[in-house]
Structure 1
Amino acid sequence: MGEFLQAIGGIFLFGLLIYIMMQYQSNKEELKKSNRELAKHSWKAKEFIREYSISTRNENPIMSKDNYNKKLSEILNNPEERKLINESIIRDREYENRIKVDNKRKRKIGYKYDIEIFEIFGTNNRLSKSELLKSITLKYNKNEIWAIEVMNIWLENNLITQCYNNKQMYKVGNVLEDSFYKIDEEDIIRNEWLKKQDLEF
């Protein structure tokens, strides 16, 4: 009986040791992941990482991997550096929020024009400026001056965009192409509209 209990105790201790080692490794990986994220907001950390990366590429590392991780943690946990990092994180979040608000505003403007834009482009990936203006005048039964004003509204709000490799050609903009810009389930993007019309590119 005593030997049996000893065996059970040994198995338990072995299992506990494995668990502790796994937790330790997991914590190390979490720390590395956290440091990588924080380093994105620290010029000192970026410069240190760059120097270390160059040295390893040249097969002459300036320090061991363990020392590298320790040094990086020291840089990121320095009070002055941490303050700069936090300020950078706040700025980035504020910028992201402004972008989200602006994207929402653009999508709301898109409610007024999305179906007409989809109908104008149809299955065409691109339209020339003259084709686009002609289509707008016909769609709304307006003159070209009015069509130019509407086209500019579409451009300003990414409902349409100029093609990167040909500024005289236009395509449907990201706000109406990418589901990222959807505000709710009622919103429709171009691919969804094409499917509803049984159309394909």
Structure 2
Amino acid sequence: MESFILNIFAIIGVFVGGYQLFLFLAKNSEERKRTDDDVWELINNCNECRIYASYYDVSLDEIRNIQGFKKHRIELLKIINEPANRKEALESISEKKQIKLNQIKDFENKRKIGYKYENEIFEIFDTYYKLTQDEIIDGFMKKFSTNQTKATEIFQECYNNWLITKVNTRIPTDEVFYEVGFILDSDGYKLTQNDLTRKEWLKKNNKVLDHRINLANDLPF
């Protein structure tokens, strides 16, 4: 009986040891991948590395992923280990991160401005895909009980903050149309779960988007 119990403990010990080894290897694998990713981020932000790849008419991604490019990988590591090249790459990475942070902050500010006008914009556009500038300004005049000058200023503020954007069309036309901007039409720019996108507003009000061109006397305001 004692021998049986000892065998059980031995089996458990092997299992636990094997599991710990698995965790150790997995952790090391993750760390190696993270280190590898960090190195290649430096390489991708090094001008000398890009020049090297261009000289051999290959991309840095190809050098990283194609087995036969081991020699190129070694050369790139030599280049990025040069202090001046490494410094340049680190500065480039830092600059890109700062630009991204500034963009995020800018998008957040635009969405906050959207709180001032989102209900009126959704109601003015209603189910319509696009409206003219005059139609939108007329809508602002009625929604805010204001004059054309003030309504035009509101339109410009909305346009500058991507709450309203110009419709790009392949068909040449003398008339310019505008649509609800992606700041109000994309989940990616929500600041809270309570923020409504245009799609959600339409659904909430049991409405369906109509892509037809609008007639001035057919608008909902």
Provide the TM-score with structure 1 as the length reference: 0.75
CA shift, 1:142, in A, is 1.8
1:174 paired residue number: 182
Query: 1:66-145 maps to which residues of 2 (within 5 A)?
Result: 66-145=70-149
Alpha carbons 1:160, 1:173 under 8 Å: kept = yes
* Counterpart selection for 1:155 from 155, 159, 181: 159
Provide the TM-score with structure 2 as the length reference: 0.69
**Higher alpha-carbon deviation: 132-141 or 34-43:** 34-43
Runs of at least 5 residues in structure 1 that lack an aligned partner in the other structure: 1-18, 56-63
Alpha carbons 1:75, 1:81 under 8 Å: kept = yes
* CA gap 1:101/1:25 in 2 versus in 1, 3 angstroms: closer
Letter in 2 for 1:79: P
* CA gap 1:81/1:31 in 2 versus in 1, 3 angstroms: same
* CA gap 1:40/1:123 in 2 versus in 1, 3 angstroms: farther
Alpha carbons 1:176, 1:190 under 8 Å: kept = yes
Alignment length, in residue pairs? 176
Query: Which secondary structure does the structure 2 equivalent of 1:188 belong to?
Result: coil
**Higher alpha-carbon deviation: 176-185 or 46-55:** 46-55
CA shift, 1:185, in A, is 1.1
CA shift, 1:33, in A, is 4.2
Give the number of the structure with larger relative contact order, counting CA–CA contacts within 8 Å between residues 6 or more apart.
2
* Counterpart selection for 1:194 from 174, 198, 202: 202
CA shift, 1:117, in A, is 0.7
Letter in 2 for 1:144: Q
Runs of at least 5 residues in structure 2 that lack an aligned partner in the other structure: 1-21, 60-67, 210-221
Query: Which secondary structure does the structure 2 equivalent of 1:89 belong to?
Result: helix
CA shift, 1:50, in A, is 2.4
* Counterpart selection for 1:51 from 55, 65, 78: 55
